[in-house]
Amino acid sequence: MIRDGWRLALGTLTALPTAPPTVVNGASARAAVLLAPLAVLPLGAGVVALGWLGERLLLSGLTLGFLALGWLALTTRILHWDGLSDTADGLTASYDRERALQVMKSGTSGPAGVVATVVVAGLQVAGFAALLTSVRGAVAAGLAVCLSRLALSIACLRGVPPARRDGLGNPMSGVVAPWQAAMLWILWATGATAVAWWLDLPLAVMTPGMVLAAATVTALVAHCVRRLGGVTGDVFGAGIELALAAALLGTTAAL
């Protein structure tokens, strides 16, 4: 279960080479969701490395912000951005559920998808630009990358149905019990506090970002359940990108 969950997390959340899971069921999907923040540690480490390099090369925060965005896009195959675009297009295309799901499945980017991508990408660049001007800020940015994957524990909560029978949303929806999601958030909040103490940062530096990210993803999931009847793989991707933008901006405000 753990091995398949680890492979599923790496294969869907990163571009890192990994063997496919032997089976995808509720147990392996649950493990993948719970392991998601750990699976992207190499991506967060890359963001920290950018901050370290940028400080030594005297690169501007804006340059580092765009480099961080490009690094994450490259190492995730832009999969989550596609989900954000498709979700925005579906939610704005029609009040008819089937029509909205059809638009999301088409894979093309409409005006709403383009605007959503530009706005969220801009917010992420702004957050990275503010944090990557120091190594301590870069560590906080790297943590935000990992913490943003906690979005899946909300989108995959028990009681949140899949919007359709096919796609990634079906095997992964509803696999996480509320107590498991709560423990996961508490565990990562504790770890983030320990890192902040080690770096001599305010102990609650990551708290505003985590709260904002949780609220943003909860609102997205609730809206998708109301409009689409549930969640899809695209909604998972949208939740991750929105959670990252929220985590970065919340963390920036706390420093």
pLDDT for position 35: 95
Domain ranges of the chain: 43-254
**Among the listed residues 219, 237, 217, 223, the one whose alpha carbon sits nearest the alpha carbon of residue 97:** 223
Say how far apart CA 71 and CA 59 lie, in whole Å.
16
Kindly tell me if the per-residue pLDDT of 169 is higher than 80.
Answer: no
Calculate the average pLDDT of the chain: 92
List pLDDT tens digits, range 35-46.
999 999 999 999
Mapped onto helix, strand or coil, the DSSP state of residue 167 is: coil
List pLDDT tens digits, range 103-122.
888 777 888 999 999 999 99
List pLDDT tens digits, range 124-156.
999 999 999 999 999 999 999 999 999 999 999
Kindly tell me if the per-residue pLDDT of 1 is higher than 80.
Answer: no
Burial class from Cβ neighbours inside 10 Å (0-12, 13-18, 19+) for residue 161 reads: middle
List pLDDT tens digits, range 186-244.
999 999 999 989 988 888 889 999 999 999 999 999 999 999 999 999 999 999 999 99
Side chain identity at 245, as an amino acid letter? Answer: A
